[in-house]
Amino acid sequence: MNTTFTRRKPKDWWKESIAYQIYPRSFMDSNHDGIGDLNGITEKLDYLQDLGIDLIWICPMYRSPNDDNGYDISDYQQIMAEFGTMADFDRLLDEVHTRGMHLVIDLVINHTSDEHPWFLESRASRTNPKRDWYIWREGKNGAEPNNWEGIFKGSAWQYDTATAQYYLHLFTPRQPDLNWENRDMRAALYRMMRWWLDKGVDGFRIDAICHMKKDPLLSDMPNPKGQRYVPSFDRHLNYDGLLEYVDDMCRQVFDHYNIVTIGEMNGIGADQGEAWVGENHNRLNMIFQFEHVRLWQHEQCLPPSVNTLKHIFTHWQDALEGKGWNALYVENHDVSRVVTRWGACREFWRESATAIAAMYFLMKGTPFIYQGQEIGMTNSHFATIEDFDDVSAKNQYADLLSKGVDKTQILQLLNHTARDHNRTPMQWDNSQNAGFSDAPPWLRVNKNYPKINVADQQQDPLSVLNFYKALIRLRKQEKTLVQGRYQLVLKHHRQLYAYRRDGENDRILIICNLSGEYASWQDDTVMLVGQTLLLSNYSASGDDTGLRPWEARVYRMRT
């Protein structure tokens, strides 16, 4: 293992990084079975290096029966057979390090698969030593122990006839929740984490960390089924005492390694962010907060209001300034494609994909790109429920159907929001199956691949891909874009998102028109005349007093 490389990392190395998220199942198939795999990722490392990536996060690649595509782990220290072997993983890690990049893996520790040996033991008898590693309860009056609903629909409890008790599963019934109260269970997880860190992985993205602590009384939610959801009433989302678990894990494991940790943190606002990533607390390095993605992942198909978006991002930027670090992202494997949901796919596909990119990428924090986002991949069309793969889409379909909602209407909804949109195979070129595989892929390729693919965009200087490359180059070149303070300007403008990054004797302005109409402004605090243009997503130069539809520009401002 290339440990010299990892040992030499400077402190906070991840602040300068550009991160890229890989969904292994859909990235690249190297052995002709229609399923992406680890060797496929290794094959494409040169592509990622050329793009300018230095931090790669891969979604779960562990042994799993794939009820939730790998987020249901049956062995933390084995590789899923479809993805390859541990030797393939070691080679991938080595090849990543050889290129001066880092590899972060997904840590799924809120739950395991129901096929994990720990759970098999736990369910075997009420007296098994591992019984308490999961959350078992008696039924209440012949029904579930409480009124909690699963995140993927249905009750969060599953009755197990063998021992006549219920176990808790916040996700699918095949993903039983681990009991973090149990110290032996925690110690076993910590051993597993150290094992990966000793192998040389550079950190973890921590799945569903916000759910690890449950109300010890497991009391009913005050606002169950169908009523307005109030996060602060939640009995397992950021529940009091959660940070004690996090601290324990940090002291026992993370503190002993020079790694990066990023928690998946649903349900908190900017004011709570500091408790998680404030550097003085010495907890996590970053979190993926959800507030902004919620704006375009809601069930209606409306684009988000630019002002609401500014409010959310600005709040996070200000709240963490000088205290902690933001993870910047607009897509991941749990949402649908941003250019479809929020951009203007028909008239301004290229412009909107690049304007959205410039808008989020140059804020203060570590930018993450989700595979395919860098070429402006769009949502697919799913004609029937059979075309979907994701357990969450299927459960949502069944749930709405049972409530009497019309099939066409449900399909329409899923065609906006389903996670499958971001899981269709990566579009490498215009050959069969988009160059992802020469066998029929596990999930159908988006049929626009002859128009949207890596190979074509590599040739086209104006492509979305080349714009991402330019953004990355710029961020690497300009210290101000890493360290400079974020300052929102044109605060109330309804089309423009504009902000400055203020460094020492240096100011950079990012100005993006997030609408399909020309946008001008009167405010003379932002004057473009005579400033130095560093980057733009239009080829022909524009004017100094307005921006064309979805135009984005970056300037060095005179100080």
The residues annotated as belonging to the active site are: 207, 264
Partner interacting with residue 171 (select from ligand GLC, Ca ion, none; CB below 5-8 Å by kind): ligand GLC
The radius of gyration computed from the CA coordinates of the chain, to the nearest angstrom, equals 23
Going by C-alpha positions, the residue among 382, 380, 367 that lies closest to residue 427 is: 380
When asked if residue 177 is in the footprint of ligand GLC (CB under 6 A), the reply is no
In the complex, the residues that contact Ca ion under the rule CB under 5 A are 29, 31, 33, 35, 37
If one asks whether residue 71 binds ligand GLC (CB under 6 A), the answer comes out as yes
Is the Cβ–Cβ distance between 285 and 308 less than 8 Å? no
Residues 508 and 556 sit within 8 Å (Cβ to Cβ): yes
| Both structure tokens of 349 | 């596909």
Query: Binding partner of residue 71 among Ca ion, ligand GLC, none, CB under 5 to 8 Å per kind?
Result: ligand GLC
- Nearest Cα to Cα of residue 342 among 393, 409, 293, 410: 293
DSSP structure class, residue 425: P
* Closer residue to Ca ion in complex, CB, 86/533: 86
Q: Which of 61, 93, 108, 178 binds ligand GLC (CB under 6 A)?
A: 108
Contacts of 300 (CB under 8 A, 6+ apart): none
Q: Kindly write out the interface string for residues 379-398 of this chain, putting x where it contacts ligand GLC by CB under 6 A and - elsewhere.
A: --------------------
Among 55, 73, 208, 362, binds ligand GLC (CB under 6 A): 208
Cβ at position 61, least distance to Ca ion in Å: 12
Residue 280: burial class (beta carbons within 10 Å; 0-12, 13-18, 19+): exposed
Q: Decide if residue 67 touches ligand GLC (CB under 6 A).
A: no
Residue 546 near residue 518, CB atoms below 8 Å: yes
Nearest approach in angstroms of CB 434 to Ca ion is 15
Distance CA 351, CA 279 (A): 37
Residue nearest to ligand GLC (CB): 71
Number of residues located near ligand GLC, criterion CB under 6 A: 9
> Per CB under 6 A, does 83 bind ligand GLC?
no
Helix (H, G, I), strand (E, B) or coil at 81: helix
CA 537-332-455 angle, to 5 degrees, is: 50
Residue 262 near residue 206, CB atoms below 8 Å: yes
Q: Which is nearer to ligand GLC, 205 or 310 (CB)?
A: 205
Residue 66 or 317: the one with the smaller Cβ distance to Ca ion is 66
Among 37, 82, 334, 374, binds ligand GLC (CB under 6 A): 334
Token pair in block for residue 447: 């049929």
CB 523 within 8 A of CB 556: no
Span 243-282, contacts to ligand GLC by CB under 6 A: 264
Of 208 and 511, the one with the shorter C-beta distance to ligand GLC is 208
Among 23, 27, 134, 171, the residue binding ligand GLC under the rule CB under 6 A is 171
Question: Whose Cβ is closer to Ca ion: residue 43's or residue 95's?
Answer: 43
Q: Are 355 and 551 in contact (CB under 8 A)?
A: yes
Please tell me whether residue 497 adopts helix, strand or coil conformation. strand
68 counts as binding ligand GLC under rule CB under 6 A: yes
Q: Give me the least distance between CB of 436 and ligand GLC, in Å please.
A: 20
From the list Ca ion, ligand GLC, none, partner contacted by residue 242 (C-beta under 5 to 8 A by kind):
none
Query: What are the residues facing 553 on neighbouring strands?
Result: 511, 536
Residues that bind ligand GLC in the complex, under the rule CB under 6 A = 68, 71, 108, 171, 207-208, 264, 333-334
